[in-house]
Amino acid sequence: MTNIAFIGLGIMGNPMAVHLANAGHNVAGLDRSPERAEDLVAAGGRAATSLADAVKGADVICVMVPDSPDVQAVLEGEDGVFQLAETGTLIIDFSSIRPDVTQQLAEQARALGFHLLDAPVSGGEAGAKNAALSIMVGGEADDFAKAKPLFDVVGKTVVHVGPSGSGQTVKAANQLIVAANIQAVAEAVVFLEAYGVDTKAALEVLGGGLAGSTVLNQKKENMLSRSFQPGFRIDLHHKDMGIVTAAAREAGVVVPLGALVAQLVASARANGDGGLDHSALLRGVERLSGKEIG
């Protein structure tokens, strides 16, 4: 049994914290919207009243917040984790943020006697609810070994990919692949519909061949039904594509498809779709094709 503080109980953090509580750990959850802790409390965890309350006595502090500034505020801000937690505490950052920010935070953590792992996840809301996430972990090997039992509670594919920042770099590559795949599926759906094909049947047979993918399997129903309840919001994928393009430029790597998809994601956001699931890139294809959008 481990005492865990879980900061950030959104679409992803909420089910992850619940899984940890169901596994028998003592989990104190904290979110800006207190009602998000209800599922955790029902699973035997507790709702913390403040960051200080959450991290008091915690062996492990998990963070799952939207962006780099949010992680920085939680860790190094005034009355943040670096000030409030006990020296030696293991900090697991499940957020998807800039690799260079992670590296800076890891250096600060080491200097203060903490152990920080960057452990962004992939799999969306379905993966979080089913404890089937893919977790790419950067940091010290010894810290990874200590955290592995917790990772195994919330994830299915858990891999230590290198030193601090490596997890975030792999996540950026993941987001590039996912965005390009969603865009391709969206274009295929609009193309098939234009020819009056039984699109559901077409996607079934495409899914059984080389065109098949997890993206196709998970997102086809959203596209067919035009139901874009967010499992992963376009706003967040926009942020991630910014990380991809900036990091690629810094490394001197050319990502022409990535740059194009980043612009298409930005266009979807500019057209008011930021709060929708990233499968709503389909709406952008319809706009470009001059089709009426429902």
Q: Where are the alpha helices (DSSP H) in 44-165?
A: 51-55, 68-76, 81-84, 99-112, 124-129, 141-154
Residues 175, 203, 227, 256: is their CA dihedral positive or negative? positive
CA distances from 59 to 22, 120, 293 (A): 17, 20, 50
Q: Report how far residue 30's alpha carbon sits from residue 286's, in angstroms, rounded to the nearest whole number.
A: 40
171 is catalytic: yes
Q: Are strands 115-118 and 46-47 parallel, antiparallel or unpaired?
A: unpaired
Residue 121 phi/psi, 5-degree rounding, is -125, 160
Residue 54's contacts (CB-CB under 8 Å, 6 or more residues apart) are: 5, 6, 7, 28, 29, 30, 48, 61
Angle between helices 199-207 and 166-194 (to 10 degrees): 140
Residue found by looking up tokens 């509580």 in the block: 21
Q: Are 60 and 147 in contact (CB under 8 A)?
A: yes
Tokens for 149, please give them: 């039992």
Q: Which entry of 171, 219, 220, 239 is annotated as an active-site residue?
A: 171
Which residues are 61's β-sheet partners? 5, 91
- The residues carrying an active-site annotation are 171
